[in-house]
Homo-oligomer: A and B are copies of this chain.
Amino acid sequence: MVKSIAPARRSLDRTFAALSDATRRSILEQLAAGPASISELVAPVEISLPGLLKHVRILEQARLVETVKVGRYRHCRLAAEAGDDVSAWVDGLRERWEGRLDRVEQYVTNRRARPTGGREGKGKS
């Protein structure tokens, strides 16, 4: 697993993983409507408060949420650039995917000979 391609890999891992949980997404949706405290965030979701706190920590580590402790409250809000790297990655993929049209020629040339595709001598023979 020694692959370090880009420095942002870990970061994207964490961001996508953070977004893969419906509870966390609903927290983000709630925060998109305005800041809230931990106990305000726990109300609409049916989990325990420590459970919710864990989610908030995860969202924080993914830089989707920022929090500050003020008195005995922790103010949580959506990070200004929340989701930027995610949509950047998706857009990048889509660009390649669309740009692929320019390269489709290659592929077709390589494959079109047989619809079954099994015989072009690719792979590791």
Contacts and interface: CB of A to CB of B under 8 A. Distances in A.
Interface of A: 1-5, 9-10, 12-17, 19-22, 25-26, 28-29, 32-37, 39-40, 43, 45-46, 68, 70-73, 75, 78, 80, 82-83, 86-87, 89-91, 93-94, 96-97, 100, 103-104, 106-107, 115-119, 122-124
Nearest to A122: B40
A65 B107 CA distance: 18
A34 B75 contact: no
A68 B117 CA distance: 10
A118 B70 contact: yes
Given A17-B17, A40-B122, A71-B118, A107 B12 contact: no
